[in-house]
A and B are shown apart, each in its own frame.
Chain A
């Protein structure tokens, strides 16, 4: 569980994070979304005690991060890829982190295996690709078998295999009852990874919602109706308040009328339907709608 309470960060007179309040619950993947510069990384760094908030606080499993006796078992974090000395091997890098907490070498081998890095474990990290760097960062985050996992843009630089791996890994970690907070600026990735979304823009909370609710909030878009008696149906629907457009003679695009009512009306007139398809507003559209105001042009 992560509790962010009125967290605020200023750089000079610019407010990067503005009284942000939200809770990240265990047992599900929570996506942390926002345009570039929205304050996602800064918020994550404040949760981890790396940046000092101007006001407010963040609690991890009930207390500030720095008060944990075994921080690596409280939170596993990936903040930036390739935060490793170029001359050090993946194994030495993980070993040095593990040693701070007396975590065994066996666990180091285990996370190397989990991240698919066995074959390069003893190569110096200078030659690692961005994707390998991400995998190493995720391996480091898992070292302490933490209850809370915080990953900043973990799929950046990963190939499709890697993206799928991260997605499955996060689902697995959440299913084990862990708290998983993962940031991204891509709605499409979060749509298939997260169950819950925290969306921020310009440091302010825009939405704290489940994916389903977000779609519902933006509302149903259009309904595609195909019928041999389309022209007749069109008049009926229009009479009931719908806005109807048509690209082909037999196909109608209907808005402003629920799909159920379209079906009932067609049945009432005994008009046969070949197709009745609600086209939901895409998450992408919903997200764009929410963040349009907050996108920062720099």
Chain B
């Protein structure tokens, strides 16, 4: 061997990448997600175009962007689950023991998994975000928006970034809970149940302010234009991105702490 046999962080990242890429399911999930997300954006754009032609709606850039990125609302769930399974899959098979025996300091494992999560989902999300945008705007033709329109490029990047952050959030939840079913249920609760519960559960004067901070709404603020409706105004895209990064960081740090102190 030309190099010394020892544990280094770049080698660990390489190892985690091999783990993900050597699973057929990784390729299938990413491929199907691309096809579904981009394909649906074309179908939705076509429906919107029909409504415009019939005069049911008035053409606007926010609506053109909404038709492109409506499918991102479920892409966040797919990537979140992918993030969960990256770690809970190791606990369910017992592989985590082999992994932590190879890397007894443990924390680098989580850092490497987070990096690999980004490395795999970033190219996928760029394809989805730009693919959805260009396909839907091509379908819309003259009703469509262009990348140069105010805020549009930001929304496309937001559509790519929000699901990646949800993937990291999922990785954090998975590390905290360790069991696939429990972690996925928790993820679904946070993404889809929490936003619905807030309005009936909280006093009216603070309900909206709290709702703006949920991962789902902050994510949506990143890939929409216009910031919600007249009655409900989202945080700005940048502020929302900051809050969502905070959510992902919170769960990852919680997971890191537990990973360090718990028996494996």
Contacts and interface: CB of A to CB of B under 8 A. Distances in A.
Interface of A: 45, 48-52, 65-66, 68-73, 75, 77, 79-80, 82-89, 92-93, 95-104, 140, 144
Contacts of B5: 70, 72-73, 101-103, 144
A83 B18 contact: no
Interface stretch (B87-95, B122-130, B227-235): B87-95
A231 B12 CA distance: 77
A83 B94 contact: yes
B53 interface: no
B95 A85 contact: yes
Nearest to A85: B93
B102 A100 contact: yes
B264 interface: yes
A82 B94 contact: yes
Contacts of B263: 45, 50-52
Interface stretch (B21-29, B154-162, B206-214, B243-251): B21-29
B102 A71 contact: yes
Contact of B7 (A87, A89, A101): A101
Contact of A95 (B18, B101, B261): B18
Contacts of B54: none
Interface in B1-46: 1, 3-8, 11-12, 14-16, 18-19, 22-25
B23 A102 contact: no
A65 B15 CA distance: 21
Interface string B93-123: 1111111111111000000000000000000
A103 B2 CA distance: 10
B94 A80 contact: yes
A99 B101 contact: no
B139 to A, nearest CB: 37
Nearest to A140: B98
A90 B191 CA distance: 36
A77 B19 CA distance: 20
Given A71-B104, A86-B93, 13 more contacts: A45-B264, A48-B104, A72-B102, A77-B101, A83-B94, A83-B98, A84-B95, A85-B89, A88-B23, A93-B22, A99-B12, A102-B5, A102-B11
16 contacts: A71-B104, A72-B5, A73-B6, A79-B97, A79-B101, A82-B94, A83-B97, A84-B95, A85-B90, A92-B22, A96-B18, A97-B98, A100-B102, A101-B102, A102-B5, A104-B1
Select the residue from B8, B23, B97, B104 with max chain A CB neighbours within 10 A: B104
Contact of A102 (B8, B22, B24, B264): B8
Contacts of A49: 100, 104
